[in-house]
Amino acid sequence: MNLFPSGSTKDEDVRQVAYKMGADIARSRMATEMPLAAEALAAVEAADIVVVEGCYDHVEQVLGALDVPYTVVPQGHLAEAALNPDQLLVVNCPGEMSEAEVVVVRDFVVAGGTLFTTDWALGNVVERAFPGHVAFNGKSTGDDVVRIDVLETDSPYLQGVLDADDDPQWWLEGSSHPIRVLDAERVRVLIRSAELGEKYGEAAVAVVFPYGKGEVFHMISHYYLQRTELRNERHRRSASSYAAEKGGAIREDLWNLAEEVSLGDVESAATSSRMMANIVADKKLRAMED
């Protein structure tokens, strides 16, 4: 069965199917574990999320797998977006911006907006708009895959992201930019990788810090993951095995593919899908309460 007949490669097909399966599992588990958050996620409208296009990363594909609507802004047109602090602003790698756009981003966060950036946007956006918090350490990664660990398991952003028996992988695009934490009092490391630290000098995978009335999330590499490594027998099991393990539901039209997609692929997709779902739902909940 080919769900994506538009000329994509087999690997691209598998990745997209894995994300749809992972997103299904993430949403069904959220409905059980965090029903208010699940209701908020279902209430999200396209105007709530503004995505700045990037030629390297495509966070909007994770949102699409989650069936969450969003508004796309072409790179270079952010100043025309009329941002408001109830929104989530996603800036895909590389995040190249003019000085005027950097000011728009800073003012947006100061007023209460939430910013989510990936990889090269660390230097192109975050360092310029919010100096003194995090920085590129100057040691670009190779094309690599590393194990990750969640640090703040009680954080609303990380609930349901990892269970004790999970072993998800995080893909590092060649020339990804490791995150150096400059202000350890304000910057919280949400996800880390000992492998990343050993190889490239910094262990942080995902960080968050407050700024003004808002907050900034940043993650190394591309959020829409390109590949995983099947490092053990568990990773090589099927997607149906992962769904049974987690108690999550996969939509019926995908279930007949569940034996063809690996547990490792779906686990990595479900991990990133659940974290994004948590961030989006938390932002929507706070906007609804204001």
User: String of b and e for 158-195 (b: at least 16 CB within 10 Å)?
Assistant: bbbbbeeebbbbbbbbeebbbbbbeeeeebbbbbbbeb
Share of the chain above pLDDT 70, in %: 92
pLDDT at 6 over 70: no
pLDDT at position 227, please? 54
pLDDT at position 1, please? 30
* pLDDT per position as a tens digit, 45-61: 999 999 999 888 889 99
Residue 115 DSSP one-character state = E
pLDDT at position 226, please? 55
What confidence tier does 3 reach under pLDDT thresholds 50, 70, 90? very low
- The answer to whether residues 190 and 206 touch, using CB atoms and an 8 Å cutoff, is yes
> Token digits for 34?
């965090």
* pLDDT per position as a tens digit, 59-86: 999 999 999 999 999 988 998 899 999 9
* pLDDT per position as a tens digit, 18-44: 889 989 999 999 999 999 999 999 999
Highest-pLDDT range among 1-5, 93-97, 142-146, 249-253 = 93-97
pLDDT higher at 139 or 5: 139
Query: Which residues, in sequence order, are bridge partners of residue 134?
Result: 181
pLDDT at position 230, please? 56
Please work out, in degrees rounded to the nearest 5, the angle formed at the alpha carbon of residue 73 by the alpha carbons of 68 and 78.
130
Highest-pLDDT range among 48-57, 227-236, 247-256 = 48-57
Residue length, the chain?
A: 290
> Token digits for 66?
């989650």
- The answer to whether residues 63 and 50 touch, using CB atoms and an 8 Å cutoff, is no
How far apart CA 143 and CA 179 sit, in angstroms, is 16
- The answer to whether residues 240 and 267 touch, using CB atoms and an 8 Å cutoff, is no
pLDDT at position 225, please? 66
Cis peptide before 94 (omega within 30 of 0): yes
